[in-house]
Amino acid sequence: MSRLTTAQALVRFLACQFCERDGVEERLFAGCFGIFGHGNVAGVGQALQETPALRYYQSRNEQAMVHTAAAYARMKNRLSTFACTTSVGPGATNMITAAAGATINRLPVLLLPGDIFARRNVAPVLQQLESEHSQDVSVNDCFRPVSRYWDRIMRPEQLTTALPEAMRVLTSPEQTGTVTLCLPEDVQAEAHDYPDALFEKRVWRVPRPPPESDLVARAAELIRAAVRPLVVAGGGVIYSDATPALDAFARATGIPVAESQAGKGSLPFDHPQSLGAVGATGTLAGNRIAADADLVIGIGTRWSDFTTASKTAFQHPAVRFINVNIADFDAHKHAGLPLRADARAALEALSAAVRGYQVPRAHAERIATVRAEWDAEVERLVSGAGTARPSQAEVIGAVNAAAGPKGVVVCAAGSLPGDLHKLWRPRDPKSYHLEYGYSCMGYEVAGGLGVAMADPDRPVFVMVGDASYLMMSGEIVTAVQEGVKLTIVLIDNHGFGSIGSLSESVGSARFGCEYRARGADGQLSGAALPIDYVANAASLGACAVRATSARDLATALAEAKSAPGVSVVVVESDPSLKVGGYDSWWDVPPAEVSTMDAVKAARAAWEEAVKKERDYL
């Protein structure tokens, strides 16, 4: 028996958890991020101080530290993550946004918010939400819908049953996401005699369940009968380390592969079967092949509306789906043949089952043609139009070149994700890190920190819009504190380029989307806001420069690459040069009634376009 506080027992337990897959073992928790307040300083804070085996990392914002943990976990293919400790009240609820992001993106993070006194006698304590109907409610109940496992530790001994459940969920490829253990402030500091077995090294093995052989045989029949089959690769391909198996399957069969945001990089861009992005932000190649595919093999994808172009991407009247997925939930989407399995195991089984099959010659020829067309289009876009200010596509091309084959681009929201999905040319499965399950503004810098911490040998390039940067850039300070090298490319287009375009498309003429002072007409129509991003980044400890031309940008990126610490390159892009949409659509309904002609026109166009949406039953 060891007499420890709840917090000491928790921290000691976390320090001896390991994860193993394919015989490779690593620590499940690389450390614990935290911001202390009265709700955790004397509990988890004290325990971390006493147990340096679980290293403590400071953060600037509770939301940011959860983004960092999620990005780290993604870079580690979900085999390792961070714990995150907060105070009670606002410190805790600050994590909710990123908790939702981790669950939506199926990434493991362990959240340890402080909670109100279990003892209750001194209630209401500072920052307590009171309820007239129950004393068993706190703001931490808001974590329930965004957590895959949620618990409140009301007595010290509850840890012995809660912790194994929490670890099971974190390390389950099917169930993983946010795990929240709420820790009442008084319980954290309370001592108990814990069994020593709780603190023995535990190894959580991540399985690779094979697909059922009957279902493999049925899938093989569907593939052999298909005339224009297509694979859509999602994040599951990369997490499962299935990219070599996908390469072998695609080469042997000739079946083309399109990619979701999370799946981009599943194949190198110059692979003969790679079509790049598909869906609302798809490439010409991906969307053309998708439109008349008669069989779609989704692998490790959750079929978001961006991937399906709001259910318009697949127009073949008899299209069928096979869903290779570790999660039953995703495997059953679109009435697909549910091939529940680890992606790598399933690809190996499918390769064996369809040996000898090759796509029809016409399909192979079409794939080669659309690939060549798209390659020329990317080349045109990233080469720029010789304008004074570079286009966003040109900036992407320059960053892609500077990043090299192993460099990682990190992004989340704005107009960059769509352009990156189309234009980034990955050569490595971990070189494209786009948080697009939640597309959370503010993820970029915090996420970039997590990526760089997970793999310090790769150059990491965060690409971020001005508005996202303003929302959350404080983790520059954490990167400086930890000596982490990071390059941040900030694209200044004076506000919301993305939502500005969307606003135009729904007839609203960029209302409220530009960063302008209040004008004489009472609207936000005045002068551009005088925000000095270079000075802002420099004040946080970064080495910051402005690039005013494509040539400047190339020089700044080269300098950033060899400089230590955090480098920020601010570049003003030419917003008139946009990347088009390639046969794509995204369902954003304009107002059904309005006095504005532009809105009426947008609604009429939408009513036509929405007819293309299909049910896959």
Ligand X SMILES: Cc1ncc(C[n+]2csc(CCOP(=O)(O)OP(=O)(O)O)c2C)c(N)n1
Closest separation between CB of residue 127 and Mg ion, Å?
34
Closest separation between CB of residue 419 and ligand X, Å?
8
Closest separation between CB of residue 42 and ligand X, Å?
33
Closest separation between CB of residue 23 and ligand X, Å?
40
- Name residue, tokens 């580690």: 76
Sign of CA dihedral 98, 99, 105, 108: positive
Closest separation between CB of residue 160 and Mg ion, Å?
50
Q: Specify the stretch interacting with ligand X by CB under 6 A; choose among 232-240, 258-266, 375-383, 413-421.
A: 413-421
Burial call 49-83: b when 16+ CB within 10 Å, e when fewer: eebeebebbebbbbbbbbbbbbbbbbbbbbbbbbb
Q: Specify the stretch interacting with ligand X by CB under 6 A; choose among 186-194, 219-227, 349-357, 465-473.
A: 465-473
Q: Is 415 in the site for ligand X (CB under 6 A)?
A: yes
Closest separation between CB of residue 472 and ligand X, Å?
9
Residue of minimal CB distance from ligand X?
Answer: 465
> For residues 272 and 247, what is the distance between their CA atoms, to the nearest angstrom?
10
- One residue of 465, 500, 507, 590 binding Mg ion per CB under 5 A: 465
Closer by beta carbon to ligand X, 71 or else 258 = 71
Q: Give 235: exposed, middle or buried? Use CB within 10 Å, 0-12, 13-18, 19+.
A: buried
> For residues 292 and 269, what is the distance between their CA atoms, to the nearest angstrom?
22
Residues of this chain, 494-533, that bind ligand X according to CB under 6 A: 496-499
* Binding-residue pattern over the window 427 to 446 for ligand X, x denoting contact by CB under 6 A: ------------xxxx----
Closer by beta carbon to ligand X, 211 or else 384 = 384
Sign of CA dihedral 398, 479, 570, 439: positive
Residues 6 or more apart whose Cβ sits within 8 Å of residue 463 = 395, 396, 399, 409, 410, 411, 416, 420, 444, 489, 491
Q: Which DSSP helix (H) or strand (E) runs through 251?
A: helix 243-253
Q: Is 391 in the site for ligand X (CB under 6 A)?
A: no
Q: Which does 439 bind (CB under 5 to 8 A by kind): ligand X, Mg ion, none?
A: ligand X
Q: Specify the stretch interacting with ligand X by CB under 6 A; choose among 132-140, 148-156, 249-257, 412-420.
A: 412-420
DSSP-derived secondary structure letter, 41? I
DSSP E strands: which ranges in 481-560? Answer: 486-492, 543-547
Q: Is 33 in the site for ligand X (CB under 6 A)?
A: no
Closer by beta carbon to ligand X, 12 or else 67 = 67
- One residue of 466, 476, 542, 579 binding Mg ion per CB under 5 A: 466
Closer by beta carbon to Mg ion, 510 or else 600 = 510
Query: CA nearest 240: which of 102, 345, 322?
Result: 345
3-state SS, residue 597: helix
The structure tokens listed for 432 are 């494209």
- DSSP labels, 337-383: EEEES-HHHHHHHHHHHTTT----HHHHHHHHHHHHHHHHHHHHHHH
Q: Which does 424 bind (CB under 5 to 8 A by kind): Mg ion, ligand X, none?
A: none
Closer by beta carbon to ligand X, 349 or else 490 = 490
The structure tokens listed for 516 are 């302008």
Query: CA nearest 276: which of 426, 429, 409?
Result: 426
Q: Is 62 in the site for Mg ion (CB under 5 A)?
A: no
Closest separation between CB of residue 61 and Mg ion, Å?
21
Closer by beta carbon to ligand X, 47 or else 467 = 467
- Name residue, tokens 């060899």: 562
- Name residue, tokens 């107002």: 591
Closest separation between CB of residue 559 and ligand X, Å?
24
DSSP-derived secondary structure letter, 612? G
Residues facing residue 151 across a β-bridge: 181
Q: Are 92 and 125 in contact (CB under 8 A)?
A: no
Q: Is 413 in the site for ligand X (CB under 6 A)?
A: yes
> By rule CB under 6 A, what count of residues binds ligand X?
17
> By rule CB under 5 A, what count of residues binds Mg ion?
5
Closer by beta carbon to ligand X, 56 or else 533 = 533
The structure tokens listed for 90 are 């606002």
Q: Which does 62 bind (CB under 5 to 8 A by kind): ligand X, Mg ion, none?
A: none
Closer by beta carbon to Mg ion, 6 or else 493 = 493
3-state SS, residue 81: strand
3-state SS, residue 218: helix
Backbone φ and ψ for 600, nearest 5 degrees, come out as -60, -45
Closer by beta carbon to Mg ion, 234 or else 465 = 465
Residues facing residue 337 across a β-bridge: 322
- One residue of 6, 81, 240, 493 binding Mg ion per CB under 5 A: 493
Closer by beta carbon to ligand X, 101 or else 507 = 101
Max Cα–Cα distance, the chain, nearest Å: 77
Closest separation between CB of residue 502 and ligand X, Å?
9
Q: Are 212 and 177 in contact (CB under 8 A)?
A: no
Angle value at C-alpha 234, between 231 and 236, nearest 5 degrees: 115
Residue of minimal CB distance from Mg ion?
Answer: 465
Closest separation between CB of residue 400 and ligand X, Å?
17
Closer by beta carbon to ligand X, 172 or else 468 = 468
Closer by beta carbon to ligand X, 294 or else 466 = 466
Q: Which does 246 bind (CB under 5 to 8 A by kind): ligand X, Mg ion, none?
A: none
> For residues 257 and 246, what is the distance between their CA atoms, to the nearest angstrom?
9
Closest separation between CB of residue 524 and ligand X, Å?
14
Taking phi first (over 0 means left), then psi (-120 to 50 degrees means alpha), and beta for anything else, what does residue 177 get? left
Q: Which does 416 bind (CB under 5 to 8 A by kind): ligand X, Mg ion, none?
A: ligand X
The structure tokens listed for 386 are 């010789």
- One residue of 416, 420, 462, 489 binding ligand X per CB under 6 A: 416
Residues that bind Mg ion (CB under 5 A): 465-467, 493, 497
Residues that bind ligand X (CB under 6 A): 413-416, 439-442, 465-468, 493, 496-499
